[in-house]
Structure formats: structure tokens, C-alpha cells
Structure 1
């Protein structure tokens, strides 16, 4: 029976007939399985886990974003904000470290990237069409059209990065003075909360970013937030290692019941020594940085003064010989 069917298939389709028939049957079975797979009901446990995960992410995003009911950018949130919670938290922390604490900072950041990127891209396209013409090479077209768009898209990121670096440098420079002032206030009998309020007022003319951080800490403590959590939040907002170490020292002092004044005295002394070492490090780097500048602006004039008269004399002797 099977031999007769095989012979008929070979006579009809040739030597590869059996393979064609098997492949056709497999294809038909796959097509038959597709409706069954589409109509299959999901596992209730998987659906429950998925719903819980989606609800948790939605609640987390809502808490992080602090969306207002009358927010004009709320309807564009899915385009102006990352949907991933971790990515949103990272960019929000970066903007906090740059000093942008507004609840719309993330949306404005992405809006500026979007607007500047498209705006400069349109300007580059208009310049290319008006002044370059069809004779431009593909390299020139990419440079004049895509170049401005690239610059516009990454300009907000560059600005925020530079702002973070400048702010962290200011906090790092003013932190030893803040510790000395805090030590004086604590040893004079004031509490830590009163010392922080006093520091936020005294440091504002010299180091505004550090004064803002201490002022925010004082407001959160007055609102009843846990002191350890407030200090940890300050450490994250500053992004400076000295502040993180200071927060660790205060939390350990509170946990073990040791004297805050003694901990501040030791740590303030270390910060003063570290500031002196940083100044010495910059002073030691200065000659190396000045070497290239010195060579560029000193060696050429010196060569002109020394070699110039000889070159003129050789030229005159050559003219006299001729």
C-alpha cells in the first residue's frame, strides 16, 4: 500500500515528490495550529502576575512624576518621559544634582531635546536647500542637515552635565567651611537642626548650591521626616563623596550614641587636610599644564631672535656672491 502511494507520488512529482509531500503536510499542520494558538486562553496566574506588575509600575511612575491635574504637558507625558521607571529615576536624579528640582524638569528636558533637535534640523535643511544646492556632496549634505540636529539634540544633555560638574565642584569647595561652621554651632550649644539652619543662611553668599541643600534639609526635618532619610537624600542630590562620608559619619554617630561634636571635630579636621591636599595637587599639575603653553608662546619668538640675524646674514652673503 505504501509502496504504491510512494510510486504514484514519484511518478507525479518526480524523485523529490515524497519530500515535497512531507513538507506540504508540515506546512498545513503549522497553519492549522495558528488558530489554536491564537484562541488559547492565557494562564490565570500569568495574567494576575502581569496585572500586578503593571499596576505597581504605574503607581511608581505616578508617585515619581507627581502629576498635577492642570498640567499642560500631562497629555504628552508618554512622549516627553521615559516609560521605564529606572530610566526615569536616573534622569530625575541627574537633574536634581544639576539643581533642577521642578516637577516638570524631566518633561522640559526631553521637550528641549526634541524641540532643539527638530528645530536645528529644519534650519540645517533650509540652509542646505537655499545655499548649497544639488551640487553638494553626500558628506556635505549630512554635515549641514544632520549636524545641527545632532547638536540640538545633545545640547541639553551637555548643559546638564556641565551644570552637575560645576555644582558638585562648588559643593566640594564649600563643604569644609560648612563643617567648621557646624562644629562651632554644635560646640556653642545649638542642636544639629539649628546648626543646619544657621549654615544655610551664612553660606548663601559664598556657596549658594550648598546653602540650598542645607536649607532643603532643614525644611524636611521641620516637616517631620526621618533625619537619616533626609541626610541620605541630601547625599544623593549632591553626588559628592565628601557629603556621602559626612552622612555616614552622622548616621553612625546617631546609631552608636557617640558625641556628634567629637565626630564633627575629627571629620572637619580631615576635610581641612583634604582641601589642602587638593590645592597642592592642583599646584603640582600647574607646571605640566603650562609647559605646552610656554613652548608655544616662548620658543618661536626665541628662535626668531636667535636664528633671524644669522639667516639674514647668510642671505646677504649669498646675494653678494652672486
Structure 2
């Protein structure tokens, strides 16, 4: 590696660090405010020095989350509508912390910077990529964009996984809710009891039901609470549950009968979905069988005959 290439890489890293520092710098900060912040930081470090010797993994995680949240709060990269949308996605993934949106923004920026640094370090070793500064700069920008997008895909995968877990346990929750309502419990107390019973079996659904029970206890608005539950879970079965209970409350229909019918419907739909998945296995297995099993069978069946023919023609 020549001296000019080393200088170019150093310049790229310097530009990247300068951009990050410019973004993270708080706007309109006076010297007095900076000095006060330094004093508060030093006082906090001295106060936390004895406890820092016994840091637990949870404390480290909280510290990292706090720093990422502070980083995300300094970045005005999303408008209020986008922040609300991101907050809804985080809620559906199970993150209800107050600073979850800011932490997610900090994670996205951190991943983008890491990907850009990796692109800067390894781009000179790729043929025809480290020869031109413009191509390296475009590669760095592309890596930064990819790093920003990757956490969104991870968040989407977490949402889908949590949704599958909730969908698998919802019929059992409906059966338990039927038992609670038949025992004379109110809707709020029944939902809370079901959440307690499902805490070890299905923690995501138990968490959502606990939030729903708290909202029912505080507000008493059944329609709004169930609508919020359906929005957070984002499942057709949850929307059906919200609609059924809302109509039962509005028209005076017995909740027990409505829940029993809904539970039976959900179990039937679950069985039908499993049968559909089983029916789709045969076409999916055909191609792997042709690629892996059929050549082996042909080799075993025709191999000895081919070897004998070769021996005869020799």
C-alpha cells in the first residue's frame, strides 16, 4: 500500500469523524453551558466511581441504552409522524420504554457509521475499487445507508416472530377468558387473570393482556382499550376479539357465548392454516428431491452397469 493510499484512507476517516461530530454537536451551545455540563458530568462520574467497580451486565446494558437514547435525541432526522410510526413498530416488537424511539435512532446511526468504517478499511483491498476516491466515497455512503436500514429489517423480523407467538397462544387465552367470565369475573379482572396464567407460557401475549387490563381499569372505555390492543398486536384474530367484545358490550350480548364462539373459530382457522401448510409441503419437497435424491438413486442403479460397459469396451 503506497503512501498516497494511506493518506487517502486517513482523509476519508477524518471526514467521516468530522461529519459525525458535526451531527452530534448540540446547536447554539454557549461556553457557560458546556462548562456546566462538564462539571455535572465530572460530579456524576465521581459519585458513580465506587459503584462502577461492581457493574452488572444489566447496568452496562442500561448505560449503553441511555447513551444511544441521548444520541438519538440529538439527531432531528425524523419528523413527528415518522417517530410515531417507529414508536408503533417498537411497541409491536415489545419495546415500551419512553426513550425507545431515540434509542432506535441511535442504533441506526451507530450501525451506519460502523458499516461505513468497514467499507473504508476494506475498500482498498478490493480490485478496481480502491483506486479512485469518488468510488470509495460512494461505497462509504452506500455502506452507511445499508447500516441504517439493517436495524429496520431486524425490527421487522422481531415483530413477525412476536406476532406468530401471540397468534399461536391466542385461542388458549380465549378459552381461559371464557372460564373467567363464567366464574363471574369482570372483563378487566378476567383479562388480568389470563395474563397472570400466561406469564410463563406466552410472555408476549401476557404482556399485551396486562397492558389491556391496566387500560380497562384506568379508563373503563372498553371500545378504545380493545382497539388499542388490536393495533398493538396487529392480528386478524385480535381485531375479531376487539370487535366481538365491543359489540357484546354495546348490544348486551353475553360475553361468554361470544368468546366461546370466537375461540372455536380461531382454533378452526388455526387447524385450517396447518393443513394448508402441510398441503404445500409436497410441491416444495419436489425440487430438493430432484436435485439431491434422484441423482444418487440414478448413480446407485446405473453405476455398476456403466462400470461394466467401460470394462467391456476397454
The runs of at least 4 aligned residues of structure 1 exceeding 6 Å deviation read: 137-140
For the pair shown, the structure with the greater C-alpha radius of gyration is: 1
CA offset at residue 233 of structure 1?
0.8
Q: Could you say which residue in structure 1 is the equivalent of 2:192?
A: 197
Describe the shift of the 1:225–1:114 C-alpha distance in structure 2 as closer, same or farther (beyond 3 A): farther
Structure 1: stretches of 5+ with no match in the other structure:
1-70
Structure 2: stretches of 5+ with no match in the other structure:
1-65
CA offset at residue 239 of structure 1?
0.6
Mean CA deviation greater in 225-234 or 98-107: 225-234
CA RMSD of aligned residues (A): 2.6
SS of 1:93's partner is helix
1:273 pairs with 2:268: yes
Q: Could you say which residue in structure 2 is the equivalent of 1:252?
A: 247
Q: Could you say which residue in structure 1 is the equivalent of 2:97?
A: 102
Q: Could you say which residue in structure 1 is the equivalent of 2:298?
A: 303
Mean CA deviation greater in 264-273 or 148-157: 148-157
Alignment of 1:210-225 (within 5 A): 210-225=205-220
Q: Could you say which residue in structure 2 is the equivalent of 1:77?
A: 73
Counterpart of 1:289 (choices 250, 260, 284) is 284
TM-score, scaled to structure 2:
0.71
CA offset at residue 253 of structure 1?
0.9
**How far, CA to CA, are the matches of 2:311 and 2:143 in structure 1?**
55
**How far, CA to CA, are the matches of 2:82 and 2:263 in structure 1?**
36
Mean CA deviation greater in 163-172 or 102-111: 102-111
Describe the shift of the 1:114–1:74 C-alpha distance in structure 2 as closer, same or farther (beyond 3 A): closer
1:122 pairs with 2:120: no
CA offset at residue 140 of structure 1?
9.1
Describe the shift of the 1:81–1:203 C-alpha distance in structure 2 as closer, same or farther (beyond 3 A): farther
Q: Could you say which residue in structure 2 is the equivalent of 1:233?
A: 228
CA offset at residue 318 of structure 1?
2.3
**How far, CA to CA, are the matches of 1:244 and 1:161 in structure 2?**
20
**How far, CA to CA, are the matches of 1:306 and 1:166 in structure 2?**
45
**How far, CA to CA, are the matches of 1:74 and 1:141 in structure 2?**
31
Alignment of 1:168-207 (within 5 A): 168-207=163-202
TM-score, scaled to structure 1:
0.70
CA offset at residue 74 of structure 1?
6.0
SS of 2:280's partner is helix
Q: Could you say which residue in structure 2 is the equivalent of 1:87?
A: 82
CA offset at residue 317 of structure 1?
2.1
CA offset at residue 186 of structure 1?
0.8
**How far, CA to CA, are the matches of 2:292 and 2:120 in structure 1?**
42
